[in-house]
Amino acid sequence: MSDSSPAARFPAGALFDLDGTLLDSAPDMLATVNRMRASRDRPPLTLSEIRPVVSRGARAMASVAFPELDTEGVAGLVPEFLAVYAEELGRHSVLFDGVEAMLAALEAAGTPWGIVTNKPEYLAAQILPQLGWQDRCAVLIGGDTLAERKPHPLPLLRAAESIGIAPADCVYVGDDARDITAARAAGMPSVVALWGYRLDDDDPVAWQGDVMLDAVQALVDPAGWPQR
């Protein structure tokens, strides 16, 4: 008896979060906060202390670096954090294992891919040429590109529109609850990147992504992606 089940396929379009999904940028963030702490005669932090909040942005990083500060004090450090981070950008970060093989597999299948991140667009744009992605990434949307940012669905909807593919025919891959919330609101299937950055009390199962994966390598095979 022959197997009539359809063969697994890559999605028509693939969209990714950046930090914690494609790029292990925690070392860049660590260098940034430790420069800020050193300028105030504070001892350095360790990677394990800052890694869980890397996907949460500049405010979260500043809060971990200076836990004694209130919300206003943390907000006041954001411009300094971004300025120092711009100098450390790409100096220490690396791609997660399997990312290049996955992107090559998507390209071989004719699937355009892009990045939707809450990182400021000017910083994300600087990373692309460092990775040789400036001509490969079909769309880049940062946290300040549009009037809304994740978990709002607008960035994902605009990215899908930009590559000319319906949201339901794209897949979004991210390591944070905001990523999966945005995908669900956009009507876009999602992959929870368990290899990324999470707080100890995060419950990825509760995010209700379509697929949960422990390693990027699973996405080199079309069977690793959500199937319609």
- Which residue matches tokens 């890559």? 10
* Tokens read off for 202: 């995060």
For residues 32 and 36, give the distance between their C-alpha atoms in angstroms, rounded to a whole number. 6
Which of 98, 85, 88, 121 lies closest to 217 in space, CA to CA? 98
- Output the DSSP codes for 132-157: T-TTT-S-EE-TTTSS--TTSSHHHH
Angle between helices 58-65 and 26-38 (to 10 degrees): 50
Q: What angle do CA 154, 25, 218 make, to 5 degrees?
A: 75
For residues 99 and 94, give the distance between their C-alpha atoms in angstroms, rounded to a whole number. 10
Please confirm, yes or no, whether 28 is among the known catalytic residues: no
Is the C-alpha dihedral spanning 187, 192, 196, 197 positive or negative?
positive
- The residue from 17, 19, 24, 179 that is catalytic is 17
3-state secondary structure 36-99: HHHCCCCCCCCHHHHHHHHHHCHHHHHHHHCCCCCHHHHHHHHHHHHHHHHHHCCCCCEECCCH
Catalytic residue annotation: 17
